[in-house]
Structure 1
């Protein structure tokens, strides 16, 4: 089943959120310290991913063009509106902002190499091991994020399943059209661009910056287009 890995990932986030609800009564100082630890770990992860690039100029151009497109579409605002809509329908129950939990968790789970690589493996090879591993990680992260940001983390399972599921479905046909060398280069630059976004999420969690990370998301698609352009016209 092509979508099995994505579905397991979504279920793990839901289970982690439920467990996190049990920890909402922990002291506020402990929550802050835990959140700072998560923020630092995410920054380090982002740096490691960012260094995967084989041509950093592509990453820079991807972020610039992606930021322009993201600001024009205003993706961050649409994410926030979706979170606010959920908050009006469900109610936060005084335990954090549903909007903040939804937006933050969605970005943490979606922007990363494991989501892309895992979904590609699911579609191309029928191998769900990467997404199973990601599911375990996301489940634990959900516990912590829910205890600090609230139940909005639960709803991040929806964009995660959709994102990974769509990539997996497209990947079932990708090897018919994309050579292995081109696919590997695309993954490397997507990973690097995503890593910088991951680092921005970590800095936001630490309160150092207020970067609109969602508005940078088109940069991942731009990275793919630029790599294809380079290969097509042999600009390297």
Structure 2
């Protein structure tokens, strides 16, 4: 529980500090620093992907999960949620004052929501903390989230600090459910789960750097599918292929 609280506070403080001091930074500084954070997200993604145990299961989960997200327009739901998060602060600050049009504002805010609320590291960290009491993963994540939230807030304003609310809800729910989920997993399932989250982080890095706007929100169902697919692959398909 301590790790969940620390990570949430990091996003809250980062959002407040970035919004408060962001106007003192030049656009060139913020743009170039955002590129660096994009590269960092890519690096974290690659590191998470590298130990992957069952590539077919992970790839299939990514493809089918993204297809499900696209069919049910999950990305559009995230867009609406991002606009709802903006509503409480519109009376104080508008996107026009931030130099962003609505399209760019929503895209950047959705990216922030995915990074803070649904990253593989955060989900795995919350599950680990709930099952074993080890908060080190979430605390390490909090350090990066503090600075990442500050950079996002330089462009998006105080609305970034509000992302701490859905982040807390997601991580706390996973923390509570950990006692039921974790015992059902294996080492390979956890490794492939982190690898799937790594693909999302890699796609997030491309999005942050504005190289390619991957449909990250639509990819989220893959995180739900990857563990069952790994179990099916290792339990039934691999033994059948070996026989």
**Alignment TM-score, normalising by the size of structure 2:** 0.86
Is the Cα contact below 8 Å between 1:17 and 1:153 reproduced in 2? yes
| Residue in structure 1 matched with residue 179 of structure 2 by the alignment | 172
Retained in 1: the 8 A contact 2:8–2:167?
A: yes
Structure 1, unpaired ranges of 5+: none
Counterpart CA distance in 1 for 2:5 and 2:124 is 16
Structure 1 match to 2:187: 184
List structure 1 segments (4+ residues) > 4 angstroms apart after TM superposition: none
Kindly state the Cα deviation for residue 133 of structure 1 after the two structures are TM-superposed: 2.1
**Counterpart pick for 1:211 among 207, 211, 214:** 214
CA root-mean-square deviation: 2.0
Matching residue of 1:40? 39
CA distance in 2, matches of 1:192, 1:100: 24
Q: Which runs of 5+ in 2 are unaligned?
A: none
Q: TM-score by structure 1 length? A: 0.88
SS at match of 1:120: helix
Residue correspondence of structure 1 range 115-154 to structure 2 within 5 A:
115-154=122-161
Which is further off, 162-171 or 25-34? 162-171
DSSP-derived class of the 2:163 partner: helix
Tell me by how many angstroms 1:29 deviates: 0.9
Equivalent residue, structure 1, for 2:223: 220
Local SS of the residue matching 1:23 = helix
Counterpart contact for 1:102–1:154, Cα < 8 Å: no
CA distance in 2, matches of 1:87, 1:159: 13
| Equivalent in the alignment of 2:78 | 79
Note if contact 2:111-2:216 (Cα within 8 Å) is conserved in structure 1.
no
Equivalent residue number for residue 55 of structure 2: 56
Q: Shift of residue 220 of structure 1? A: 1.0
Are the equivalent residues in 2 in contact too, given 1:111–1:197 (CA < 8 A)? no
> Residue 102 of structure 1 contacts residue 155 of structure 1 at CA under 8 Å; is this kept in 2?
no
Relative to structure 1, the CA distance from residue 37 to residue 72 in structure 2 (aligned partners, 3 Å threshold; closer, same or farther) is same
C-alpha distance in 2 between matches for 1:52 and 1:173: 25
Partner of 1:6: 4
Once the two structures are TM-superposed, the CA of residue 101 in structure 1 deviates from its matched residue by 4.3
Query: What's the CA shift for 1:234?
Result: 5.9
The total of aligned residue pairs comes to 230
